[in-house]
Structure 1
Amino acid sequence: MNTNYIYNMRYVLILCLFVASCSTPIEKALNSSSPLITRVTDSIDKYEVQILFTQIDSTDSGEVQFTDYSYGLNEQNYFYPASTVKLPVAVLAAEYADAREDITLDTPYIIDGDEELHSISDDLRQIFAVSDNKAYNRLYELLGRDYINSRLREKGYTQTTIQHRLATPEAAVNARKTIQFFPSYTAESIIITNKEDKDLIANNVVGNKKGLGYIENGKLVNEPMDFGLKNHFPLQEQHHFVKSLVFPNSFETSKKFELSETSRQRVLKAMKTLPRDAKYNQEEYYDSYVKFFMYGDVTTPIPDNIHIYNKVGFAYGTLTETAYIEDTQNDIRFIISATILVNDNQIFNDDTYEYEQIGIPFLAQLGREFYEQEKERKE
C-alpha cells in the first residue's frame, strides 16, 4: 500500500479527532446526522435558532459547577416568547403570597366575572401541566404589569418586559379586575382592588418588526408585523431564571426571589408535573403535551426516572422552551433553552406554521442529542 496514502489517512483521522474534541456540545448536537436536525441546520438562519446549554457538575466540596455554552444568542433579535412568560409571573405570584400574612398559596379566591373559586397553587398546576392561559391571566390580574416589571428589574432581569395577558381581546387593557380572597370560613374576605397599570411602552428591540405580512380582522396586511407592544423574554434571561430557581444557593441573595423554601419546592413540583398527574385527560393531554425537549414528537409516557422542570411557549410560529432535565437513575442533569421560528410563508397570525413538521421534532431531537452527550460524559 502506498505509504503516502497511509500517512494522509492518519492525518485525516487525527484532524477529525482534533476537530471533534474542540467542538462544543451545541456544535456536536447541531452536527447530528438526524434529519430532524439537518432540515433545520441546512437553513439555520431562516429559522432564527438560539440555544443555551449548561452542563452541571458537583465539585469535591459539594458545590454546583456550571459550564455554559451558547449558539446564535442575540438579545436584540426579537422573538415572541408566548407562554414562557407564565414562568416569571407564576414565581412572582408565589412570592406575593409568601410576603402576605393573610393569604397562602392555597387560599381560595374569586375574580370579577368568574363564579368559580381558584387558588394560586391551582393556577400553578394548570400553568405548568397544560399551559393554561386563563390561570396565567388571573395571576396577571393579581399582580399587574407595573409590579411584575418592577420586580423583575429589581432582580436583574433588565431586558424582560411583561406587557399583556394571553389569548384574550382584553390582553393589554390597563384596568385590572378585583380579586377577593377567602382565608377561612370564619374570617372576613380580603378584597384586593387593583389599580390601573400605566400605558404600554414599546420595546425597542431590533427585529421586533417581523415577516412579510400579517392577518388582521381576517385580511392580509402586506407589511411586517409590529411586535413592539408584545411581551419580551430573551433566552438568556429565561435560562438564568430556571437556573437560579433550581439552584438558588449558587446565586447572590439580592438577585433571588424571596420565596420560602416550601413555596420554591411547590413551584418546582408544579413545573415537572405531567398532565396525567394533574388529573387531565391523558388522550388529549399526553405527557409531552407541553414538554418538547426529548419527547415532544411522541405521545408515549415519559419514563418515571426522567424529570423535566420546564416552560414552553408557542405562538406566531415561534417555539421556545427552557428546561432543567434530570435522569435520577443515571445521575444526569443539565439545563437547555432554545427558540426556533417556523413560519415558512412569513405571514404572521394566519395559523399556518410548521410546528409539528419541523419545530417540535427539532426541539425533541435537540434534547435527545444533549441527553446522549451527557450520558456518555458521565459514563
Structure 2
Amino acid sequence: MWQRFALIGLLVLAASCSENTPAEPLEKVLSSQNPKIKNVMENLEEHEIQIRYTQIDRRNDSIIFTDYDFQVDENNYFYPASTVKFPAAVAALEKLNAIDSLSINTPFFVEGDSVKTTFGKAISEIFAVSDNAANNRLIEFLGQDDLNKRMQERGVSPIRIAHRLSTDNADDVTTKPLVFYLNDSTISLSQPIINSPIKPLDLNGIQKGKGFIADENYQEGPFNFSLKNYYPITAQNALLKRIIFPEAFPKEQRFNISDHQRDYLLTAMHTLPSDIGYDENEFYDSYVKFFMFGDNTEPMPEHIKIYNKVGYAYGTLTDCAYIQDTKNNVEFMLTATILVNDNHIFNDNTYEYEEIGIPFLAQLGRELYEIELRR
C-alpha cells in the first residue's frame, strides 16, 4: 500500500497556464477506492500506466489547456496499436487537399487489392470500428516518411510510424501503387513511394515480458518492440488538440485541411458503428470508446459525444479522446494507456482486456467526468 501512495505522490503536472496549478483532480481519481481503479493502482509496475488529463477553459475568444500528467514519459515505450490511424487519417486529408484532381470522395483501390473504396469511407471505417485494412490503404497513399514529416512539421512529436497493421507486407518500405477513378472514363495510377529503412528505437521498456509466440512456437526471452510504431501520450494529445481546437495554435502548427475535411473528420471521430451500417449487436456503441462506457454494451447517451481513437494489441490498451457533454456544458480531454499481460508472454492473445484494462479506463473516464460536472 505504501508503494501505491508513494507513486501517486510522483504525479507530474504540466499546466499550460500556471506552473502552480494544484494536482488534486487526477491525484484524487487515482486514489479512488473503486476496485476498477484501486486494483490497478496497487500493481502499478505491472501495468505501465501513463495518463494525461486536460482541462479546457474558454475565456473570451481564448482556449486554455491545463494538463495533468501521471507517469507520462516519452522515453517509456508502449505499443500504440491502432491509435496511429488517427495521424494517418489527418495526413491523408492534408495530402488530398494539395492535389486538385483528388478529393475525399475519390474512388480508388490499391494495386493487387480487390476492394474499391473512397478516402472518406476509409476514414469512417478507421474511427467507427478501427478497420486495419482501411488504415493500410491510407499508408499506401502516404508512405511512412510523408506521414511522419507532416506530423512533425505541425508539432506532433515525437512520432515514428514504421509499419502497416496486421498484414503480410507490414514492414515493406515501398508502397503499392493506387488506382484512382477520376471520372467515369478516366483512371490514374500513382507511383510507388520508397521510404526510409526502419531503424531500431532506443527507449526504456522497448523489450517486454519473459517470452513470446513467433510462428506458432513459444520463444524464451523478452519481445522486442524496437522496430514497431512509436506514438507516445504527448504526441497523441498534441494531435487531438490541433484537430479539436485549431484556433488555439499558431498557423504553422495547424494542419492544412479544409473546413469541409475537418467537419468530416470530426463527424467520423464521434460517429457510432451502427450509424454507418454496422450490426449494433456486434459493434455496440462503445465498441471503440473505452472511456466512461467501455465496460458495458448499453447505448450511449445522445448528449455525450466522444471524439477519439483507441488502440489495443500485445496487451496494451490506449485511448485518446475529447469528451463533450452538450447538455451539461462539459468538455475535457483524456489520453491514457495501460498494459494488461499477467503471464508476461506477448503475442499469445492472452490478455486481461475485459477483466482489468477496459474497466480501468472506463472508470477513469467516469470519475474525471464527475469532477468536470462539479467544475
TM-score grouping bracket, smaller chain normalisation: over 0.9
Letter in 1 for 2:310: V
Report what 2:51 is aligned to: 51
Please say if 1:376 is aligned against 2:374.
yes
Q: 1:365 aligns with which of 349, 363, 366?
A: 363
Please say if 1:92 is aligned against 2:96.
no
Please say if 1:265 is aligned against 2:263.
yes
Report what 2:109 is aligned to: 110
Letter in 1 for 2:305: H
Matches within 5 A, 1:210-225: 210-225=208-223
Could you state the TM-score of these two structures normalised by the residue count of structure 1? 0.92
CA distance in 2, matches of 1:277, 1:156: 33
Mean Cα displacement is larger for which, 301-310 or 24-33?
A: 24-33
Q: Following TM superposition, by how much is the alpha carbon of 1:205 offset from its aligned partner in structure 2, in angstroms?
A: 1.8
Q: Following TM superposition, by how much is the alpha carbon of 1:144 offset from its aligned partner in structure 2, in angstroms?
A: 0.8
Query: Residues 158, 23 of structure 1: CA spacing in aligned structure 2 closer, same or farther, 3 A cutoff?
Result: closer
Q: Secondary structure at the match of 1:170?
A: coil
CA distance in 1, matches of 2:332, 2:145: 33
Report what 1:15 is aligned to: none
CA distance in 1, matches of 2:195, 2:322: 33
Q: 1:344 aligns with which of 328, 332, 342?
A: 342
Q: Following TM superposition, by how much is the alpha carbon of 1:216 offset from its aligned partner in structure 2, in angstroms?
A: 0.8
Q: Secondary structure at the match of 1:337?
A: strand
Matches within 5 A, 1:213-362: 213-362=211-360
Q: Following TM superposition, by how much is the alpha carbon of 1:33 offset from its aligned partner in structure 2, in angstroms?
A: 1.4
Is contact 2:157–2:234 with CA below 8 Å preserved after alignment? no
CA distance in 2, matches of 1:166, 1:243: 25
Please say if 1:34 is aligned against 2:34.
yes
CA distance in 1, matches of 2:373, 2:64: 17
CA distance in 2, matches of 1:51, 1:355: 17
CA distance in 2, matches of 1:154, 1:223: 38
Which consecutive residues of structure 2, in runs of 5 or more, have no partner in the other structure? Answer: 1-20
Shift >4 Å, 4+ stretches: none
Report what 2:154 is aligned to: 155
Is contact 1:24–1:69 with CA below 8 Å preserved after alignment? no
Aligned length: 355
Report what 2:134 is aligned to: 135
CA distance in 2, matches of 1:337, 1:203: 22
Report what 1:198 is aligned to: 196
Report what 1:12 is aligned to: none
Q: Following TM superposition, by how much is the alpha carbon of 1:153 offset from its aligned partner in structure 2, in angstroms?
A: 2.2
CA distance in 2, matches of 1:83, 1:177: 21
CA distance in 2, matches of 1:278, 1:39: 37
Letter in 2 for 1:162: I
Mean Cα displacement is larger for which, 352-361 or 213-222?
A: 213-222
Report what 1:5 is aligned to: none
CA distance in 1, matches of 2:146, 2:285: 34
CA distance in 1, matches of 2:115, 2:184: 16
Report what 2:11 is aligned to: none
Matches within 5 A, 1:172-183: 172-183=171-182
CA distance in 1, matches of 2:270, 2:210: 38
Q: Secondary structure at the match of 1:46?
A: helix
CA distance in 1, matches of 2:173, 2:230: 18
CA distance in 1, matches of 2:104, 2:276: 17
Q: Secondary structure at the match of 1:45?
A: helix
RMSD: 1.2
Q: Following TM superposition, by how much is the alpha carbon of 1:156 offset from its aligned partner in structure 2, in angstroms?
A: 2.3
Q: Secondary structure at the match of 2:74?
A: coil
Report what 1:122 is aligned to: 121
Q: Secondary structure at the match of 1:215?
A: strand
CA distance in 1, matches of 2:368, 2:156: 27
Letter in 1 for 2:25: P
Report what 1:16 is aligned to: none
CA distance in 2, matches of 1:348, 1:301: 33
Mean Cα displacement is larger for which, 248-257 or 190-199?
A: 190-199
Q: Following TM superposition, by how much is the alpha carbon of 1:325 offset from its aligned partner in structure 2, in angstroms?
A: 0.3
Could you state the TM-score of these two structures normalised by the residue count of structure 2? 0.93
Q: Secondary structure at the match of 1:175?
A: coil
Q: Following TM superposition, by how much is the alpha carbon of 1:23 offset from its aligned partner in structure 2, in angstroms?
A: 4.5
Matches within 5 A, 1:54-93: 54-59=54-59, 61-93=60-92
Is contact 1:98–1:260 with CA below 8 Å preserved after alignment? yes
Q: Percent identity?
A: 46
1:333-355 CA distances to partner (integer Å, 9 max, x unpaired)? 00000000001111110111000
CA distance in 1, matches of 2:163, 2:130: 16
CA distance in 2, matches of 1:338, 1:144: 27
Q: Following TM superposition, by how much is the alpha carbon of 1:22 offset from its aligned partner in structure 2, in angstroms?
A: 5.4
Q: Which of 1 and 2 has greater Rg?
A: 1
Q: Secondary structure at the match of 2:359?
A: helix
CA distance in 1, matches of 2:76, 2:358: 21
